[in-house]
Amino acid sequence: MQQLTNLKEIETAVNQYGEIVVSKNSKNNVVVMSMEEYKKKMLDEEIERKILKSEEDYNNGRVRKAEDVFKEWELKYGI
């Protein structure tokens, strides 16, 4: 792995390679990435959590007919 000596080199490496893992004493201590990449990663993880929760709800019978939900919304919110 190439050693980086200053912030400009780190910024260039992140732009070129994406995530950069910073190691100390042969242990991965820090991950450096662009804010865009970080936000995408957080969104992907949130979507995955919600899908897994939805699958769990479905498998445990915690479901309702969409028609019933829309009727409830219509009465409650007028939509």
User: Would you kindly state where each structural domain of the chain is located, as residue ranges?
Assistant: 1-33, 36-77
Q: How many whole angstroms separate alpha carbon 73 and alpha carbon 25? A: 58
More confident position, 4 or 49? 49
Contact 73, 79 (CB under 8 A): yes
> In this predicted model, what pLDDT tens digit does every residue of 30-54 receive, in sequence order?
889 999 999 999 999 999 999 999 9
Quote the percentage of the chain above a pLDDT of 90.
57
Contact 34, 17 (CB under 8 A): no
What is residue 19's predicted lDDT score, i.e. its pLDDT? 87
Quote the percentage of the chain above a pLDDT of 70.
94
Residue 40: DSSP 8-state: H
Q: How many whole angstroms separate alpha carbon 37 and alpha carbon 34? A: 5
